[in-house]
Amino acid sequence: MIDIALKNMWQRKTRTGLTVVAIAVCIMLFLVLSTATGTMDEMFAASSGQFAGQMFVKTPSAQAGAALEFPPVSSSLTMEKANALMNVSGIDPARSAPLLLVPQAPSLFQNGPPQVIAAGIPEGKEKAFYGDATFGNGTGILSGKDQVVLGAYAAYSHYKVNVGDRITIQNRDFTVVGIADETGSIITNGMVLIPLSVAQEIFNRPGVSTVLLTAPSEDKAEAVAAAVRDQFPELQVMTQGDMDSTLDSMASMTHTFMGMINLTMLVVAGVVTLMVMFMSVSERTKEFGMLRAIGARRSRILVLVLEEAVIVCIVGSVLGILLSFLMMQFMFGGTLFSLETTAKAVIFMTGIGVFAGLIPAYRSAKIQPLEAIRYE
């Protein structure tokens, strides 16, 4: 019966082709959004883990009950306050530093960290920000006022530069002296490290955004946080737990948003398939009657209609996977979606095809031969 199904689809090739394209677009969006969601989870987890044992000290949000911001780019501290925080007992001064944070590119995700963020930091304290990141290209140390250290995304995707090239920030030229190797952290990948005094000058910010404090060990982080709260009750301390909670909240909102889009895509694909199958059955009433008249069982008619629906969905799914591959290559320079995600997409779409074909298939199977032959 597959040959009959294929022949019928070819006879209605325009409608079949449009249906396949509609399903392919739905599959492409499903794969791209699913991949973006999974990538977001990995980057958020890595971004939080980057600051394990550390804490950001910031000014409270102007809105009561507002969610914590990570990283705290909206906070503002005077240098006097920042220096006082650097003298809190119990911290590791070598891995603590005042930071001036200024977003340079918006977030990839709703309420997420900026894609690219300029970080003014005292020279010699750079490692406090990027932690264990490695530098296969250049150095991670700032030794001049006109130098910057970039993350992999900031260098290769945003500025499109390499070590030794010049970039312009706020009408000032800088030389790239180092590019960190690719990591899972969106913060490290998007960093633009600038000497703090220069950042304060070009961004016209005499103070800093926050102070990054590091405890000698992770088990002493809460003790350091408690000491800061005691000495500076007017400030807010964002610990590792707070960062995790904030990033989980960001991820939850993005999951909900992308989940609704994915659900909409599946519904659209199902409705399109259902409409096409209904039209196909209505136009072939006489054909089904002839098949019944020459001895075709109702089950064979039902299977024929279901075969058409499944074939359309599978072809659309394959085309959607190819489109997703091309889009991933164009947007990210590689294929990011997993085999598991791809299998889910094909299974979902095939299931939709079976479901969308059930009603018209059932109707076609109930056709009486004599009534169908007389049908006009």
pLDDT digit string, tens, across residues 245-301: 666 666 666 667 777 777 777 777 667 767 776 776 666 666 666 766 777 777 777
333 assigned to some structural domain:
yes
Looking at the structure, tell me whether residues 34 and 61 fall in a common domain: no
Give the pLDDT score at 27: 80
- Distance (Å, whole) CA 187 – CA 114: 8
Q: Other C-beta atoms within 10 Å of 184: how many?
A: 15
Does residue 105 lie within any of the structural domains?
yes
The residue among 164, 195, 214 that closes a domain is 214
Same domain, 20 and 92: no
- 210 and 77 co-located in one domain: yes
pTM over cut 0.95: no
Residue 84: closest CA among 198, 228, 224, 216: 228
- Summarize the confidence of residues 164-187 as an average pLDDT: 92
**Are 175 and 159 spatial neighbours (Cβ–Cβ below 8 Å)?**
no
Residue 245 included in any domain: no
For the chain, the average pLDDT equals: 80
For residue range 152-163, list pLDDT tens digits in order. Answer: 999 998 999 999
Can you read off the two tokens belonging to residue 140?
């991670």
95 and 127: one domain? yes
**Region 84-104: what's the mean pLDDT?**
93
Same domain for 316 and 283, yes or no, is yes
Structure tokens at 196: 């703090």
Asked if residue 80 belongs to a domain, the reply is yes
Cis (ω within 30 of 0) for the bond into 71? yes
pLDDT range class, residue 8, cuts 50, 70, 90: low
Pair (30, 177) in one structural domain:
no
The verdict on residue 139 lying in a domain is yes
More confident of the two residues 117 and 327: 117
- Domain with 177, as residue range(s), is 54-214
Q: Mean pLDDT throughout 197-221? A: 92
Same domain, 120 and 262: no
- Kindly state whether residues 25 and 58 are assigned to the same domain: no
Give the chain's domain count. 2
Longest dimension (CA), the chain: 95
pLDDT band, very low/low/confident/very high, at 326 (cuts 50, 70, 90) = confident
Q: Is residue 49 part of a domain?
A: no
Q: Are residues 193 and 79 in the same domain?
A: yes
**Do residues 200 and 343 both lie within one domain?**
no
Least confident of 55-59, 145-149, 279-283, 297-301: 279-283
* Residue 179 included in any domain: yes
Report if residue 230 sits inside a domain: no
Domain stops at, among 165, 190, 214: 214
- Do 88 and 187 have their domain in common? yes
Identify the H or E element spanning 212: strand 210-214
Comparison of pLDDT for 258 and 109, the residue scoring more: 258
C-alpha 271/C-alpha 25 separation (Å) is 14
Residue 215 phi/psi, 5-degree rounding, is -80, 155
Same domain (yes/no): 257, 124: no
